[in-house]
Structure 1
Amino acid sequence: MKKITVEDLVQKFSLKVLTGEDQLQKVITQPRVHRPGLEFVGHFDFFPTEQVQILGRKEVTYLHKLSHEERKLRIGNIVHYHPPCFIATTGEEDLTYLIHHCAEQEIPLLITSKPQITSEFIPRLDGYLTKELAPEMAIHGVCMNVSGIGILIRGSSGVGKSETAHTLIRRGHRLVADDIVVLKRLSPQTILGTHDEKTKEFLALRSIGLLNVVRLYGRKAFQDETRITLDIHLTKWEKDALYNELEQEFHYTDYMGVKIPSIEIQLQPGRDVAGLIEVAANNWYLKEQGYSAAEEFMRRIEADITKSDM
């Protein structure tokens, strides 16, 4: 399982450390944060102790209204579980009592650089943790965003994956990763494709060499990540291996338990592979919207037959 530390959060979100400066290497393993509302009133049945604890205006105001003894009890009940850290979005005001408890238990207490709306800060932090802690794998291939649709292009070495990607970039689509594609499983339905940092913005073309697509074609030629919705496998041409059916059924490739629709495209001199990938992406989108060209064609045929029988 991947791990990040409290210090990573401090650096990513420019947080100020109030206590626990020597505890910033504490490990965070859970991809979600928690607001301890029920826990402050004594309900601990489902308290996620390994999650980062967020304190917003509601929690701080509630604690501030309690008597000294009651506040000491409520906070003590929570810090007893030693969560990785507390993050307050309200600023440093009214946190003296919390500073004391966290310092005593050696728990990092962090605050945002300026007061923030808690409901807006949490999704940002959740998104960061989800991506950083997601299970991941690396595959050989190219990742592109074609008309807003994330596509993996796979195939044997030298088959033309990068050349196809270059043609797609020239047509206005965006490179995500070349050669090494990092896949992250964000949910049982979602695979995110990205690069491995070292190859960011680079595309390697045989006979030409290494290209920086941003320097060549501008920022529009690259994006950092994309949700993978299609897996396209480029293969050498084999006569009679593919059939001209009205509608090709999707096969699926399994990546960490997530099934991605997969299409095979055979290569032949003069065949517009980049154009076929564009068509595959747009056709997939239409199917997701409930449209099938084959079904419409068959309805026209049936309507014509019915008209002829009348």
Structure 2
Amino acid sequence: MAKVRTKDIIERFELELIAGKDGIHREIIKSDISRPGMEMAGYFKHYPKERLQLLGKTELSFFYDLANDVKQDRMEKLCTDITPGIIITRGLEVPQQVIDAANNAGVPIMRSPHKTTSVMSRITNYLESKFAPFTAIHGVLVDIYGVGVLITGQSGVGKSEAALELVKRGHRLVADDSVEIRQEDFDTLIGNSPPLIEHLLEIRGLGIIDVMTLFGAGAVRNYKRISLVINLELWDKDKQYDRLGLDEELMKIMDVDLPKATIPVRPGRNLAVIIEVAAMNFRLKRMGINTAAEFSKKLTKMIESDPDPFDQ
């Protein structure tokens, strides 16, 4: 899991540092952000002091109604030795009691000109992305008509060659050889390339090529949500492959089950076209059109209406 410090938040969201500059290297360990309304009222029993604290118009309006000695006490309790920072939103004026308590405890006070809900949602999304569970898988990730397709298979089966043909057909490469995957939600997997091999494609016999240089910026993406897995395997004449598409196979990556299709590889098969059609068919299924299921229903209906259609 990546380390995030208060300094990273300041730089990423262009926050103004008001006080507590000695604490900008404090580590943020939680993606949750707290709006300490109960704490402003004096209830600190369950104060989540390890979180970023957000003070908006509501919290500061209540704070200004407190007595001066109470204000100082509340701020001293709010600024602990592990609190990563306090963010003031809407460009509001920072009370002197907040500045004094922050400087004494070394807690950074930051200010943003934006609305409280906007600041909270943007920083939360950023932190959840940084703290998301992470893994890496050997394969190729391509964006095909908006569908993130993860192509897997043993080494040398033709994954990179299929990806190259897909790029030539107008689709976009995300990662080759190693795909870094993070789970940003309970059902969302985002894949990207390691920085060292970003936009690069390895073709046996040809070497490493730079896809962005050869095909332009429109041929690559930095990251993409993974929606479908295509597994390439060498043709096995003794294995029964799905010919109708009724059986849905799943592949589990971390906590997410993804639909998976196994495509046998043999000379003469255009893998790029097959993968492209698989992605289009997946889109149709998401739109409620399942060709295999409709064909099965028609066939069942025909058999039920005429038990022996060939007996004439």
TM-score (norm 1): 0.89
Deviation of the 1:60 alpha carbon: 2.5
Q: In 1, are the aligned partners of 2:38 and 2:44 still within 8 Å (CA)?
A: yes
1:15 corresponds in structure 2 to 15
SS in 1 for 2:177: strand
2:310 corresponds in structure 1 to none
Cα offsets for 1:72-101 (capped at 9, x unmatched): 233233224742111222336233221111
SS in 1 for 2:198: coil
Q: CA RMSD in A?
A: 2.3
Taking the aligned partners of 2:37 and 2:87, their CA distance within structure 1 comes to 14
Deviation of the 1:165 alpha carbon: 0.9
TM-score (norm 2): 0.89
Q: In 2, are the aligned partners of 1:34 and 1:53 still within 8 Å (CA)?
A: yes
Cα offsets for 1:170-211 (capped at 9, x unmatched): 222211111121011222222111111122222222233322
2:164 corresponds in structure 1 to 166
Taking the aligned partners of 2:37 and 2:280, their CA distance within structure 1 comes to 46
Q: In 2, are the aligned partners of 1:28 and 1:50 still within 8 Å (CA)?
A: yes
Taking the aligned partners of 2:18 and 2:98, their CA distance within structure 1 comes to 10
1:105 corresponds in structure 2 to 105
1:141 corresponds in structure 2 to 139
2:202 to 192, 204, 221: 204
2:222 to 221, 224, 228: 224
SS in 1 for 2:226: strand
- What code does the residue aligned with 2:122 have? R
Taking the aligned partners of 2:47 and 2:171, their CA distance within structure 1 comes to 46
> CA separation of 1:169/1:32 partners in 2, compared to 1, >3 Å: closer, same or farther?
farther
Taking the aligned partners of 2:152 and 2:265, their CA distance within structure 1 comes to 13
- What code does the residue aligned with 1:167 have? E
Taking the aligned partners of 2:46 and 2:244, their CA distance within structure 1 comes to 53
Deviation of the 1:50 alpha carbon: 1.9
Percent identical among aligned pairs is: 34
- What code does the residue aligned with 2:158 have? G
Q: In 2, are the aligned partners of 1:230 and 1:261 still within 8 Å (CA)?
A: yes
2:240 corresponds in structure 1 to 242
SS in 2 for 1:242: coil
Taking the aligned partners of 1:296 and 1:248, their CA distance within structure 2 comes to 10
2:281 corresponds in structure 1 to 283
2:253 to 255, 274, 296: 255
Taking the aligned partners of 2:171 and 2:284, their CA distance within structure 1 comes to 19
> CA separation of 1:57/1:172 partners in 2, compared to 1, >3 Å: closer, same or farther?
farther
Q: In 2, are the aligned partners of 1:34 and 1:52 still within 8 Å (CA)?
A: yes
Alignment map for 1:109-128 (pairs within 5 Å): 109-112=109-112, 115-128=113-126
Query: How many residues are matched?
Result: 307
